[in-house]
């Protein structure tokens, strides 16, 4: 059952309480490999459900527009100080509601409509808020993009420099949502200085790895750093902006009153809890294990004939091109979900297919690592992925997945996965005795 227990919710709204229990069980029974997801601790869960949600707190600690902030100011100050200490940043803002508004605040702080922004192209691994044409950032600004080399699957910094010198962007963004390799923050910073641009490092996916010393830090290189607080950092659904002292005032003003009203105080408290957890020595072991598990999973998938973009990973994320498997990413992802493996279909660089039915899959190791799975289990997971993808290829389509034998084959794998996971505790779920 869900932990902490929700007796008041069950009494007031049994329908929602039942769905909460169902979701908790679903998370317990599946190998969760979505790269942007994780499990938070029971302490983080408890913090998000406190009376702090009752309080409105427009402004910043010591400078509020509502009275009664004596306690909230202490909560937010703790979160800010812990963020600065954990990452070694001069300034931190913990109020952004999520990663996308955090990135928007950077645009508001430094750009005017029509200014040029250089970022990684979305199909190459970038993010919607990095200037995609379907995003406000692509409609209100002038995006130009870099990508990866077809032969390596990696960013070539000479290409980035060439584009920057030609286009003279006011903002350069490094980081993204499907990048399996180490981001060269120092090289991006050098280019930004050469063309007089602000450098934004979006470390949403790798923040926990940075905090745990398993990935180089952008602090000291980037003018501003944006991150979500979930994913590898194992906090609640929220975001932060870190910056040099020089840009602190512009960042704070852009978040409030530029984009937002009152912060979500219960989320701020949960962020503070997660940051304290990330400062513990055990978190370094977790971060190292996340990378080791991703690499073990990648090596096992290669042994099963899967094609990995860039040939592997340096972090928590794997990007798989299924072209040689004779099945699309969407069909494979649906089949894997039925088989107890949760991930997402994803475009791969130079993908000839459309984004809603692409050629690839994106996998991440953070949540499985939180559960305690290791390299041995990653090898077994790769076997299950291989078996489920073979079933998906045999089915051939989403309609084909409805075939009785296909469904039975996938369900058999799901049962084996449930049996394995019963030996690995899940934060947020208590096995009924």
CATH code of the domain containing 84: 3.40.640.10
Check the CA dihedral 144-89-112-167 and report its sign: negative
Give a yes or no: residue 431 inside a domain.
no
Check residue 292 and give its pLDDT: 98
Domain end residue (candidates: 278, 300, 332):
278
Cα separation, 171 vs 206, whole angstroms: 21
61 and 208 in a single domain? The answer is yes
CATH code of the domain containing 298: 3.90.1150.10
Strands 344-346 and 59-60, sheet pairing: unpaired
Bridge partners for 317 per DSSP = 364
226 and 345 in a single domain? The answer is no
Check residue 433 and give its pLDDT: 67
Cα separation, 204 vs 226, whole angstroms: 7
Check residue 24 and give its pLDDT: 97
The H or E element that residue 142 is part of is: strand 142-146
Total domains present in the chain? 2
273 and 288 in a single domain? The answer is no
Which residues belong to the annotated binding site for (6S)-5,6,7,8-tetrahydrofolate?
122, 126-128, 246
Cα separation, 155 vs 315, whole angstroms: 15
Host domain of residue 254: 51-278
237 and 143 in a single domain? The answer is yes
Please identify every residue annotated as catalytic. Answer: 56, 58, 202, 228, 231, 237
The H or E element that residue 318 is part of is: strand 317-321
Check residue 53 and give its pLDDT: 98
252 and 290 in a single domain? The answer is no
Give a yes or no: residue 252 inside a domain.
yes
Which residues belong to the annotated binding site?
122, 126-128, 246
301 and 396 in a single domain? The answer is yes
167 and 266 in a single domain? The answer is yes
Give a yes or no: residue 44 inside a domain.
no
Domain end residue (candidates: 278, 294, 319):
278
What one-character-per-residue DSSP string does 144-205 give? Answer: EEE---TTTSS--HHHHHHHHHHH--SEEEE--SS--S---HHHHHHHHHHHT-EEEEE-TT
The pTM score is: 0.96
316 and 401 in a single domain? The answer is yes
243 and 366 in a single domain? The answer is no
233 and 377 in a single domain? The answer is no
State the Cα torsion 46-48-53-59 to the nearest 10°.
130
Tens of pLDDT along the chain (433 residues) come to: 999 999 999 999 999 999 999 999 999 999 999 999 999 999 999 999 999 999 999 999 999 999 999 999 999 999 999 999 999 999 999 999 999 999 999 999 999 999 999 999 999 999 999 999 999 999 999 999 999 999 999 999 999 999 999 999 999 999 999 999 999 999 999 999 999 999 999 999 999 999 999 999 999 999 999 999 999 999 999 999 999 999 999 999 999 999 999 999 999 999 999 999 999 999 999 999 999 999 999 999 999 999 999 999 999 999 999 999 999 999 999 999 999 999 999 999 999 999 999 999 999 999 999 999 999 999 999 999 999 999 999 999 999 999 999 999 999 999 999 999 999 999 999 987 6
């Amino acid at each position: 059952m869900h932990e902490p227990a929700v007796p008041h919710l069950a009494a007031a709204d049994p329908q929602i309480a039942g769905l909460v229990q169902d979701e908790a069980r679903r998370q317990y029974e599946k190998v969760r490999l979505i790269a942007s997801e994780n499990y938070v601790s029971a302490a983080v869960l408890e913090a998000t459900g406190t009376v702090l949600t009752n309080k409105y707190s427009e402004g910043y600690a010591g400078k509020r527009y509502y009275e009664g902030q004596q306690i909230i100011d202490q909560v937010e100050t703790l979160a800010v100080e812990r963020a600065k200490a954990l990452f070694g940043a001069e300034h931190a803002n913990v109020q952004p509601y999520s990663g996308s508004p955090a990135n928007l605040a950077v645009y508001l702080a430094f750009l005017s409509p029509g200014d040029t922004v250089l970022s990684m192209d979305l199909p190459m691994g970038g993010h919607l808020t990095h200037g995609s044409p379907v995003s406000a950032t692509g409609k209100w600004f002038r995006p130009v993009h870099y990508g990866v080399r077809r032969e390596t699957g990696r960013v070539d910094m000479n290409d980035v420099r060439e584009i920057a010198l030609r286009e003279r962007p006011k903002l350069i963004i490094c980081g993204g949502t499907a990048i399996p390799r180490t981001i060269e923050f120092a090289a991006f910073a050098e280019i930004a200085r050469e063309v007089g641009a602000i450098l934004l490092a979006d470390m949403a996916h790798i923040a926990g790895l940075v905090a745990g010393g398993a990935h180089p830090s952008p602090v000291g290189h980037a003018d501003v750093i944006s991150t979500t607080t979930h994913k590898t950092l194992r906090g609640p659904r929220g975001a932060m902006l870190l910056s040099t002292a020089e840009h602190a005032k512009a960042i704070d003003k852009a978040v409030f009153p530029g984009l937002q009203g009152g912060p979500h105080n219960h989320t701020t408290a949960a962020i503070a809890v997660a940051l304290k957890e990330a400062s513990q020595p055990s978190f370094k072991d977790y971060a190292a294990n996340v990378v080791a598990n991703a690499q073990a999973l990648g090596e096992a998938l290669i042994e099963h004939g899967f094609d990995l973009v860039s040939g592997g990973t340096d972090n928590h994320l794997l990007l798989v091109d299924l072209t040689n498997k004779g099945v699309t990413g969407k069909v494979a992802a649906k089949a894997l979900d039925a088989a107890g493996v949760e991930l997402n279909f994803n475009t791969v660089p130079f993908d000839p297919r459309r984004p809603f039915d692409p050629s690839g899959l994106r996998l991440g190791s953070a949540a499985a690592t939180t559960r305690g799975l290791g390299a041995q289990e990653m090898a077994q997971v790769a076997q299950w992925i291989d078996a489920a993808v073979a079933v998906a290829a045999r089915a051939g389509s989403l309609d084909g997945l409805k075939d009785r034998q296909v469904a039975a084959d996938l369900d058999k794998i799901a049962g084996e996965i449930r049996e394995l996971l019963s030996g690995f505790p899940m934060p947020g779920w208590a096995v009924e005795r």
